[in-house]
Structure 1
């Protein structure tokens, strides 16, 4: 395999970064298939076939609505829609405001009585029909969301360069307050004293934005993460914001957060006065490599001179238009833009850009509306019927409780007193049966957790030194085994020389973070832009690796992406 030329745009004088390498790939290179965003599939109109029998059409619309509420917990419908590609409900052409109001009331009663859900009317609009009649038609976009009980959870990884304002933005959103320009908002959410002193995040923090069934933000200035159970219990939707470190020194922690926390989306924070510098491109590159849809928040627009702001926007648009990225930038300035972006963000073909200030509050309302509307990216409902699998990303020893592990339920349902296999064991790499003593979900005691939720599980008769990050809890039907070696289809994004056998790199594969070396590959050597099937061997301990998992690997300035085969 030849070595295609990779556009090596200097990343602040430090060589080629993740994003530069990905954006340098051309469509002709096979490695580009790893990074190209796939267009989302648009579901058909639930009212297809609506004609003279209007009631039958409405029942079909109701069946679609109730099905989505049961599976996901929320659905965005268009009352009076004239298009067949949207989630329409009700008659096709509504010619009066009174008829529109009547349809909305009917939808409200159907949602409440049959779906135990509330509706919120997001916008009403009037359009002129293209046909010869030139009728004026009335439409309304309505969010239907199940009432509190089992909240829908959407995870957003907050990434960006150091000092771009990530923790401040998370503090402003989750505490419903404005910053004073000197870090008052970030002080509310930082975990350690050294973070508070330097103002720089060095750990992974998870913070909840709680939203009611009618779209109201339940967080206020008295909200505390340690006592959020009561607010979560009243929520219908949770936005879990995973606050990650921006400093280059903590890059491995940020990579672990992006791979191990299974985020639905990445929110890339860019300081308007600094632009796309430092680790900003690196974080964007990992999000592209893992195919995590991203949106961009430009902060500090209140203190940024106009010419610097224009340069920042120009460089962002240039990156988004490059071959390996190919995203359509959309400046979000109105509620219509919010609706368009929320409907299409999961397709990973657009890049919404928000202009905000944490001090003046400019642009924050549009960002909150967007977070209220964005859907879950993963199809968790289908995974609930599978056997349980839980990946561990944190371990604790809680006085009076014992060993507690925190992580994400990847599939199935886990209940109190369930027996699962814990492994790979630190001593002999086996999987040993253990029982679940109790379960906490967002500081609430619960009987069970389902696929897609993050939880803390207390384990019976397990010592703290027997568990570590990177282990998993799985059902016995999986017949799990720890692997020293695995085969992967990899693409080299950037490397200064050539890669041969015995090459070593750090693998970031979901919760796994360990050095591995290449013990076999299907070609003699690899250079930047090449793709190959290679066999990695872990250097420290065997791990539980699943087929089909995407991962990134790095070593110095060398970066690559891969898929476990």
Structure 2
């Protein structure tokens, strides 16, 4: 029996008791359980369970009163979770985590020693049983949450550095803390996840709140709940063949800051300069962390520091050595033109305190006012929940129950959907604001219909997707010249699509800036004036800004 199944078994063995914290429900329905008088009674019951469990209650849904695994249909389970969320809110509590299992007729039993639900089957289960953890207190207030995008050459220690930051644990010199950032398949299968960021830690009363066991969803949720300041990391890929993935991580998310790593035993590489160019071309305030200082001499560290400073000055940026000028100066001066440089070691923990101090005090920068808008970056199908769209909120706010538009679909239309629930770092929230990385469970669409590059908008929006737009572009690198019909991949928000370029002056040479018409090759997308983008094709790379859009095909 897997540890996940053991959670269900323990809850059933404990059973419903007077004065206990466990409650069995076969299902909850809006018509019956939210009716006048019933809601108050059930909320009082939930509150009693939470108090009995010293602030935590366990609701087992899809079971009979005696703990038999009845299982309910996925749609019924989703409705039950919606009702349970409202009951928890009424009782001054919130759903912290939900685990689900499929059950079929062969596994249904009232015998607690018999087989529990089947976690993984080749066929669709006949029903679902789930365990919801209810925690005392309102859902997360996330007014102070910054998102940091990491970049750097492969083996330059960015994942190890982030692993050390989020755990407070020194690395063993073999990348042990890097493993904390690996995405486990069960994280997608077992629960609604907004795990675009592969690390999170926080601060409470100026003290770091770190993860004890980052492989556990509830440990990440604990960090979110306990912190009054959160730092999320979007960890990108350092291998050159996967530069497209790195661009998606840096361009497709509403990041507040960039964190570029440069290994002291290697120094700035071609990939380092490319990642730096992307970070700075998107006008993202950036910190450079020189890593692996423990592997080389002080003289070599000083040499790499000088190389980093030259690389920054080559692109008209001003380096600011944090060791020399202090954390206060770095926080005050960091901008599109000033880049703080910190020398670190995940093994000796040198420089970690300085990064902590900066992340604890750096102001929120991303997030726009106006109506809600979120570009879809990933999609999941979560058992018992349904289709989940994951991404970073570009503007506005979203609440559970909101009616939205999703699209454009391949034919350019938008579909009406409803927000079932919202999660951030496995922590269920009723509302999320601009700049937050979230997973939104949607009613009215199946997961196969969700595609990266789609956008979620308010129901009353009047979106007009376009096939073509005008842009100001700059060619960073190209072996010859860019002429009419040039076809790179364009990355704007979470959109990654082949497009044709038609320079106004007929051609663009390396280092040139100029105007061009850009036309998506296969379908239309929702883009707007002012959005910045990156384009690449082979060794050719460039950046641009949308100056106007053209509707229609």
TM-score under structure 2 length normalisation: 0.69
Tell me, yes or no, if structure 1 residue 278 matches structure 2 residue 260: no
Within-5 A mapping of 1:405-424: 405-424=389-408
Using the alignment, how far apart are the partners of 2:301 and 2:221 within structure 1? Answer: 41
Residue 341 of structure 1 aligns to a residue in which SS?
helix
Give structure 2 stretches of 5+ with no counterpart: 1-138, 186-194, 548-553
Using the alignment, how far apart are the partners of 1:392 and 1:524 within structure 2? Answer: 35
Using the alignment, how far apart are the partners of 1:158 and 1:269 within structure 2? Answer: 8
Residue equivalent to 2:379: 395
Tell me, yes or no, if structure 1 residue 471 matches structure 2 residue 458: no
Residues 396 and 283 of structure 1: CA distance in aligned 2, closer, same or farther (over 3 Å): same
Within-5 A mapping of 1:67-466: 149-191=141-183, 205-212=197-204, 214-224=205-215, 226-227=217-218, 228-322=220-314, 324-327=315-318, 329-333=319-323, 337-345=326-334, 347-378=335-366, 380=368, 383=369, 386-426=370-410, 428-466=411-449
Quote how far apart the aligned CAs of 1:374 are.
0.9
Residue 321 of structure 1 aligns to a residue in which SS?
helix
**Is the 8 Å Cα contact of residues 167 and 186 (structure 1) preserved in structure 2?**
yes
Quote how far apart the aligned CAs of 1:220 are.
4.1
Using the alignment, how far apart are the partners of 1:495 and 1:366 within structure 2? Answer: 39
**Is the 8 Å Cα contact of residues 149 and 235 (structure 1) preserved in structure 2?**
no
Residues 488 and 217 of structure 1: CA distance in aligned 2, closer, same or farther (over 3 Å): same
Structure 2 residue corresponding to 1:544, chosen from 516, 526, 530: 526
**Is the 8 Å Cα contact of residues 148 and 235 (structure 1) preserved in structure 2?**
no
Using the alignment, how far apart are the partners of 1:293 and 1:430 within structure 2? Answer: 36
Using the alignment, how far apart are the partners of 2:430 and 2:299 within structure 1? Answer: 56
RCO higher in 1 or 2 (8 Å CA, sep ≥ 6)? 1
Within-5 A mapping of 1:492-511: 492-511=475-494
Quote how far apart the aligned CAs of 1:151 are.
4.2
Using the alignment, how far apart are the partners of 1:522 and 1:355 within structure 2? Answer: 45
**Is the 8 Å Cα contact of residues 148 and 236 (structure 1) preserved in structure 2?**
no
Using the alignment, how far apart are the partners of 1:300 and 1:344 within structure 2? Answer: 26
Give structure 1 stretches of 5+ with no counterpart: 1-146, 194-202
Quote how far apart the aligned CAs of 1:379 are.
5.7
**Is the 8 Å Cα contact of residues 367 and 395 (structure 2) preserved in structure 1?**
no
Residue equivalent to 2:12: none
Using the alignment, how far apart are the partners of 2:503 and 2:407 within structure 1? Answer: 29
Using the alignment, how far apart are the partners of 1:451 and 1:361 within structure 2? Answer: 33
**Is the 8 Å Cα contact of residues 150 and 258 (structure 2) preserved in structure 1?**
yes
Residue equivalent to 1:74: none
Residue 326 of structure 2 aligns to a residue in which SS?
helix
Structure 1 residue corresponding to 2:468, chosen from 476, 481, 485: 485
Using the alignment, how far apart are the partners of 1:410 and 1:542 within structure 2? Answer: 20
Residue 188 of structure 1 aligns to a residue in which SS?
helix
Residue equivalent to 1:515: 498
For the aligned residue pairs, the C-alpha RMSD in angstroms reads 2.0
**Is the 8 Å Cα contact of residues 293 and 343 (structure 2) preserved in structure 1?**
yes
Quote how far apart the aligned CAs of 1:225 are.
5.5
Runs of 4+ in 1 over 6 A off after TM superposition: none
Residue 258 of structure 1 aligns to a residue in which SS?
helix
**Is the 8 Å Cα contact of residues 169 and 177 (structure 2) preserved in structure 1?**
yes
Residue 263 of structure 1 aligns to a residue in which SS?
coil
Tell me, yes or no, if structure 1 residue 562 matches structure 2 residue 544: yes
Using the alignment, how far apart are the partners of 2:140 and 2:451 within structure 1? Answer: 34
Residues 433 and 163 of structure 1: CA distance in aligned 2, closer, same or farther (over 3 Å): same
